């Protein structure tokens, strides 16, 4: 029996494993890098060991340091979570060789599936349908469009879509760089791109006594950068007959490699109903909560029990209802999914029924790696949390999840929350009409649009101005009962300016004997105003605005949608001005490549610099056509957010 388990991971998956251990009565050991020293998973473990440094390579990817912590803390088992070393056969062997229990599949099974090229050959021999593998050096014109893929790893890294030969060399080179950075292996291969296909996967769970469970399928077709953002179980495209064939193929795959523990067999489902093997994820999946809700199981607990030698029951649990999960990321979908970092001032999701566990009845589940006041850095994946709705039907789950996201208070960082809500409320999604090209087909112009329209932003800005004014009078002793800004005789209006999601918002209002009036928001009157809550009457309907201020940032939440504003000072410090045409770093990162030189003529939208941040490459393009007057970066240099990378002057004729 496992007595003390080390979780070789961070964030929400570390917290998820810790919760399962508490339920089993197993002692826990957390690990943390220096930036994660105050993270929730560190506080929740019995003991925590430091991994000196910040980068993944010197912390969560260091098998030597992880095993040193395990030894010093007296751990007798290791759970790898997902990502980092979870699919590293050498690490699994090192854990076993150290005399510890590895909570995962045998190292041989991990190795067999660790390289996609060899894995496809094994699966073909086991009668699992596979797509042909193409050597990048031998691709023919008839093979396009195709997908360049990293042989090692997953999570969408090291993948590129190529539609014509002239883009192949650059795509292969970029995929190799990303694969080397993420997995330490630059090997890539190509395979046919299935247009309009769905990403379907089957959850497997096997013990060491020959029993293999298949817990239905999940649909994970809605993806950005080949990484999933919406997952559900069951798939709206899979009926009983197809489900049976998928599960049989997944079971064959598990038996072919002597699998034990939890894992996922991934397939691409073509429009004609045929499916093809993608890979076996030899670990727990990010989206495991939807399967847990539908099948009423605790997959992490079962992983631990299987690692202890327990037998699975012969009868597989029956499915119940439908579950949908969304991944909440600190990123800006409208700007090429640019990751965000900084302080998360507020993170609160109302009416959550369970955290890291299946709700007692249909409801809302939250698996989060962050809390209000926490810092989101640049060294790791930008996922903040997963929100899961479980309902009797797919429609019920989608509505509950959309409502939970709408009501969430998330302040301080740009996130993909608005996009997720729009997906869940999109008629095509609700009809089950999704595939891996869904985001491109519907368009980010529609899906990434803020939930709050222009009128909502104006009323929210008015509420922010009234809340700030109320804060300024919170200690008033003379006429303290009068509304903020009240005048006995008509006078000039009160004015404040905010920078909003659509540009500057100039707020005006008067408060006198007849109440409040505002040219910005005609038909709106004031009911009450405090520093954190404003109630307005608009055309006879009362609306409540929750206002949170953090420095110059003001966040307003209401039924109209969340609005982030920045207070604009009346007088601007001249030293803070940035030269026109400046190309700024949108996030902290490392310069991978510089694709221009000083004095060069460039076109609007041309890539000038490539940054690496949060495990991904980000292309920084020229804001306008012109000449590179200044170039302040070189490959390998670290830059901070807002740093001037280059200055573009003039317009090229």
SS (HEC) of 126-193: CCCCECCCECHHHCCHHHCCEEEEECCCCCCCCCEEECCHHHHHHHHHHHHHHHHHHHCCCCEEEEEC
- Check if the beta carbon of residue 575 is closer than 8 Å to that of residue 564: no
Between CA 30 and CA 330 the distance in angstroms is 24
Q: Let me know: does 176 contact 158? Beta carbons within 8 Å.
A: yes
Show Cβ contacts of residue 635 under 8 Å, excluding neighbours closer than 6 positions. Answer: 591, 592, 593, 594
pLDDT of residue 480: 52
Fold match between domain 198-447 and domain 578-649: no
CATH 3.30.1490.20 for the 132-192 domain, yes or no: yes
Q: What H or E segment, with its residue span, contains residue 457?
A: helix 454-472
pLDDT band, residue 652 (cuts 50/70/90)? very low
What pLDDT is recorded for position 636?
83
Segment 251-271 shows an average pLDDT of: 97
Report residue 36's pLDDT band, with 50, 70 and 90 as the boundaries.
very high
pLDDT for residue 653: 44
Dihedral angle computed from the Cα positions of residues 85, 86, 88 and 90, in that order, rounded to the nearest 10 degrees:
80
Whether the Cβ atoms of residue 161 and residue 193 lie closer than 8 Å to each other: yes
Report the chain's mean pLDDT, rounded to a whole number: 92
Q: Could you confirm whether domain 578-649 is CATH 3.40.50.970?
A: no
pLDDT at 233: 98
pLDDT tens across 329-338, in order?
999 999 989 9
Q: Distance of CA 444 to CAs 14, 332, 418, 438, 605, Å?
A: 32, 11, 11, 10, 18
Helix (H, G, I), strand (E, B) or coil at 623: coil
- Binning pLDDT at 50, 70 and 90, where does residue 385 land? very high
Question: Per-residue pLDDT for 566 more than 60?
Answer: yes
Report the alpha-carbon distance of residue 550 to residue 464 in Å, rounded.
12
pLDDT at residue 592 is higher than 70:
yes
**Cα(153)–Cα(281) distance, integer angstroms:** 9
Q: Output 22 or 502, whichever has higher pLDDT.
A: 22
Distance in angstroms (rounded) separating the CA atoms of residues 210 and 113: 19
Domain residue extents for the chain: 4-103, 132-192, 198-447, 454-567, 578-649
Total residue count of the chain as it appears in this document: 653
| Average pLDDT of span 608-616 | 79
Measured in whole angstroms, the distance separating CA 323 from the mean position of its chain's CA atoms is: 18
Asked if residue 525 has pLDDT above 90, the reply is yes
Predicted pLDDT at 482: 53
Domain formed by 198-447, architecture: 2-Layer Sandwich (3.30)
Strands 27-32 and 553-557: what pairing? Answer: unpaired
Instruction: Classify 454-567 by CATH class.
Output: alpha beta
CA-CA distance, 39 to 44, in Å (whole number)?
9
- The more confident residue out of 570 and 482 is 570
CB 376 within 8 A of CB 382: yes
**CATH topology for the 4-103 domain:** Rossmann fold (3.40.50)
pLDDT digits (tens, 9 = 90+) for 177-221: 888 877 778 989 999 889 899 999 999 999 999 999 999 999 999
Residue 158's pLDDT is 84
């Amino acid at each position: 029996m496992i007595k003390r388990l080390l979780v070789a991971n961070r964030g929400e998956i570390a917290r998820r494993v810790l919760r399962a251990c508490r339920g089993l009565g197993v002692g826990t050991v957390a690990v943390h890098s220096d930036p994660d020293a105050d993270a929730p998973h560190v506080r929740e473990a019995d003991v925590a060991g430091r991994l000196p440094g910040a980068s993944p390579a010197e912390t969560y990817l260091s098998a030597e340091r992880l095993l040193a912590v395990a030894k010093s803390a007296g751990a007798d088992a290791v759970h790898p979570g997902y990502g980092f070393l979870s699919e590293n056969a050498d690490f699994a062997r090192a854990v076993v060789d150290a005399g510890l229990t590895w909570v995962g599949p045998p190292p041989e099974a991990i190795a067999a599936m660790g390289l996609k090229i060899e894995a496809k050959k094994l699966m073909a021999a086991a009668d699992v349908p596979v797509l042909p593998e193409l050597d990048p050096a031998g691709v023919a014109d008839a093979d396009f469009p195709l997908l360049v893929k990293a042989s090692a790893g997953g999570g969408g890294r090291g993948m590129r879509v190529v539609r014509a030969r002239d883009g192949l060399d650059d795509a292969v080179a970029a995929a190799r760089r990303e694969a080397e950075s993420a997995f330490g292996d630059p090997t890539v291969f190509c395979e046919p791109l299935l247009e309009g296909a769905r990403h379907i996967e089957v959850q497997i769970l096997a013990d060491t006594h020959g029993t293999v469970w298949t817990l239905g399928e999940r649909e994970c077709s809605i993806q950005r950068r080949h990484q999933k953002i919406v997952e559900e179980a069951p798939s709206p495209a899979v009926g009983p007959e197809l489900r049976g064939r998928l599960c049989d193929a997944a079971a064959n795959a598990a038996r072919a490699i002597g699998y034990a523990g939890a894992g996922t067999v991934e397939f691409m489902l073509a429009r004609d109903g045929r499916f093809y093997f993608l890979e076996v994820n030899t670990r727990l999946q990010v989206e495991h909560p939807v399967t847990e809700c539908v099948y009423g199981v605790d997959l992490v607990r079962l992983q631990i029990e299987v690692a202890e030698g327990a037998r699975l029951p012969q009868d597989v649990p029956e499915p119940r209802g439908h579950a949908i999960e969304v991944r909440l990321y600190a990123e800006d979908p409208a700007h090429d999914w640019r990751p965000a970092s900084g302080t998360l001032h507020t993170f609160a999701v109302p009416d959550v029924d369970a955290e890291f566990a299946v709700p007692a009845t249909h409801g809302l589940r939250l698996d989060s790696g962050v809390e209000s006041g926490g810092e989101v850095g640049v060294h790791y994946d930008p996922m903040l949390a997963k929100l899961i709705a479980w309902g009797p039907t797919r429609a019920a789950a989608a509505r509950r999840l959309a409502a939970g996201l709408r009501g969430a208070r998330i302040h301080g960082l740009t996130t993909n929350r608005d996009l997720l809500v729009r997906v869940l409320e999109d008629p095509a999604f609700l009809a089950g009409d999704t595939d891996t090209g869904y985001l491109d087909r519907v368009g980010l112009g529609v899906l990434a649009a803020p939930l709050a329209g222009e009128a909502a932003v104006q009323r929210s800005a008015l509420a922010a101005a009234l809340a700030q004014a109320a804060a300024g009078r919170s200690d008033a002793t003379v006429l303290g009962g009068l509304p903020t800004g009240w005048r006995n005789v008509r006078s000039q209006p009160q004015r404040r300016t905010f920078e909003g999601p659509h540009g500057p918002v100039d707020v005006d209002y008067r408060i006198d004997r007849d109440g409040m009036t505002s040219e910005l928001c005609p038909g709106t009157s004031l009911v009450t105003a405090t520093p954190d809550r404003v109630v307005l009457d608009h055309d006879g309907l009362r609306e409540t605005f929750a206002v949170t201020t953090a420095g110059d940032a003001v966040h307003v939440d209401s039924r109209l949608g969340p609005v982030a504003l920045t207070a604009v000072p009346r007088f601007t410090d001249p030293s803070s001005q940035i030269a026109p045409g400046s190309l700024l770093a949108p996030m902290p990162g490392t310069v991978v490549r510089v694709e221009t030189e000083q004095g060069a003529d460039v076109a609007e939208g041309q890539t000038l610099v490539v940054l690496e941040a949060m495990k991904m490459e980000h292309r920084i393009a020229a804001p306008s056509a012109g000449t590179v007057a200044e170039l302040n970066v070189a490959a390998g240099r670290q830059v901070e957010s807002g740093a001037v990378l280059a200055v573009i002057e003039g317009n090229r004729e």
